[in-house]
Amino acid sequence: AAFRGGEPWLAEVLGYLDGSRKLLAGLLARHLPQVRYRPPDGTYLAWLDCTALDLDGSPGDLVTERGHITVVDGPRFGDGGAGSFRFNFATPQPVMAEMIERIAAVLQGS
């Protein structure tokens, strides 16, 4: 069934994810302009580099503990991950907007 009739659904999902990828860039520019983000080419997982924020503590841990948003902290991916975290943007766009606002409140309040 997916091969016979799934193309319209897949096109819709891919279009929505592309919109979310662009929305995330805009939300970060507005709420967390110091956070570096390069939109991924083929996934719904964003790498958010917070090293310019000079935080006391790991940004992924802060977001998870204080913002109550589960992210994967950068050091879990190896030595180069310090100061960063992975964010899943495959979620309804209004929910993602709220998540970024909460992340900004946590990271700017630290």
pLDDT on residue 4: 83
**48: β partners:** 37, 85
Give tens-digit pLDDT for 48-70.
999 999 898 899 999 999 999 99
| 103-110 average pLDDT score | 90
Tell me which residue of 28, 24, 31, 26 sits closest to 88, measured CA to CA. Answer: 24
pTM: 0.89
